[in-house]
Amino acid sequence: MKVFITGGAGFIGSHLAERLIETGHEVLVLDNLSTGAMENIQHLVGNPAFEHRIGCVTEAPLVAELVDRCDVTIHLAAAVGVRLIVEQPVHTIETNVHGTEVVLQAVAKKQKRVLLASTSEVYGKSDRVPFSEDDDLVMGATTHARWAYACSKALDEWLGLAYHRDKGVPVTVFRLFNTVGPRQTGRYGMVLPSFAAQAVEGSPITVYGSGEQSRCFCHVHDVVKSIEALMMEDSSIGGVFNIGSDREVTINALAEMVRADAGSASEIVHIPYSEAYTEGFEDMMRRMPNVAKLERTIGFKPTTALEKIVSDVVAEQRARRATA
Ligand code: UDP
């Protein structure tokens, strides 16, 4: 199959491109290199199964041309990362909503298969863990910038499902939970690469809030295998799927694990949310996916152990530091 990946030079997109080429597909990537980077896909350039274009997912004629050349589109391009969202709310809302509109209009013309990336952020402040796909979404007030991201992605989901119902477009939505692994940068505020870089440098490891909040971290290799399996499985059409790990860890425990893996003497410090983000920032205490629906549909669920994930990320940060 020929697969069009928007945001294909990003952290997840570049791993997905690599995986699909390995399993015999052809890949066409579009990326504007805003949070993505050429270095993520440099090793694929020159491979006859790989092609890339630099451009924005909001450029409708370009997107239409690339959609037409492929059998299936996987739409990952988005403004992501809590820090970016809090700092650039207009950019976040416009990129996420308009980009998805452009993609859906293009696939609808030719009734082509599309998979839309969404996020666990859409569950918002719900405390009913684990989160299942049909659960209510509990968003915060519009005065808190964080929720603009959740709302923009929820709107993407509604639009995608509406195209499926109204126009019969074969749409699948997947919600990604804290995906981590090599190539993720800490620049946009993601916790694991930030901790790993701090531990390797020997600088303080910055835990925000009490550190008793927890997350489930999923290896990007498990994530891209799951996306590929949803793409190959027609029964996923019209559905929404959680993709993530169901092993929970507190941020305090994660900081300890990273420090131990790195053999680092870094101090672990706690920073109030108001200093780390902005005044009134709202975090969620727990976020865990129910992955039963994913497992039922594709026959497996993410399994990479957290210890292995942490050691992969620490090793990468050490290698980056050595070459910097
Ligand atoms: N966090 C932290 N230190 C950092 C970055 C993040 O303690 O340097 C916390 C953050 O407040 C949140 C968790 O780690 O509770 C996960 O943050 P991330 O931005 O990676 O993902 P989120 O789950 O918030 O989307």
Residue 130 counted as domain residue: yes
Residue 123 counted as domain residue: yes
DSSP single-letter state for residue 279: T
Q: What are the residue ranges of helices labelled H in the chain?
A: 11-22, 38-41, 60-68, 82-87, 89-110, 146-167, 191-201, 220-232, 251-262, 273-276, 292-298, 306-323
Which pLDDT does position 115 carry in this prediction? 98
Q: Is 202 helix (H, G, I), strand (E, B) or coil?
A: coil
Structure tokens at 14: 């570049």
Structural domain of 141: 2-177+220-245+288-303
Rounded to two decimals, what is the model's pTM?
0.96
For ligand 1, mutation pick of 121, 153, 208, 217 (most atoms within 8 Å of CB): 208
Q: What's CA 20's distance to the chain center, in Å?
A: 17
Decide whether any atom of ligand 1 lies within 6 Å of the 250 Cβ.
Answer: no
Residue 268 counted as domain residue: no
Q: How many domains does the chain have?
A: 1
Which pLDDT does position 87 carry in this prediction? 85
Minimum-distance ligand 1 atom for the alpha carbon of 121: 25
CA distances from 320 to 254, 296, 314 (A): 21, 39, 10
**For the chain, the helix, strand and coil percentages under 3-state DSSP, each to the nearest 5:** 45, 20, 35
Q: Do residues 58 and 98 touch, judged by C-beta distance below 8 A?
A: yes
CB atoms within 10 A of CB 37: 16
pLDDT by 10-residue block (mean), the chain, 324 residues = 98 98 98 94 98 97 98 94 81 93 97 97 94 96 87 96 98 97 86 96 97 97 98 98 97 98 97 83 90 98 96 94 82
- Residue 105: which CATH number? 3.40.50.720
Interstrand relation of 2-6 and 72-75 (parallel, antiparallel or unpaired): parallel
Distance CA 241, CA 231 (A): 12
Residue 42 counted as domain residue: yes
Which pLDDT does position 38 carry in this prediction? 97
Residue 204 counted as domain residue: no
Minimum-distance ligand 1 atom for the alpha carbon of 255: 7
For ligand 1, atom 19, the nearest C-alpha belongs to 190
Name 166's Cβ contacts closer than 8 Å, sequence gap at least 6: none
Minimum-distance ligand 1 atom for the alpha carbon of 82: 19
Structure tokens at 296: 């039922």
Residue 212 counted as domain residue: no
Distance CA 90, CA 73 (A): 26
Burial class of residue 2, CB neighbours in 10 A (0-12, 13-18, 19+) = middle
The residue assigned the tokens 């993407």 is 156
Q: Is 188 among the residues known to form the active site?
A: no
Residue 91 counted as domain residue: yes
Burial class of residue 176, CB neighbours in 10 A (0-12, 13-18, 19+) = buried
Burial 11-20 (b: 16+ CB within 10 A, else e): bbbbbbbbbb
Question: Closest Cα to residue 312, out of 78, 15, 5?
Answer: 15
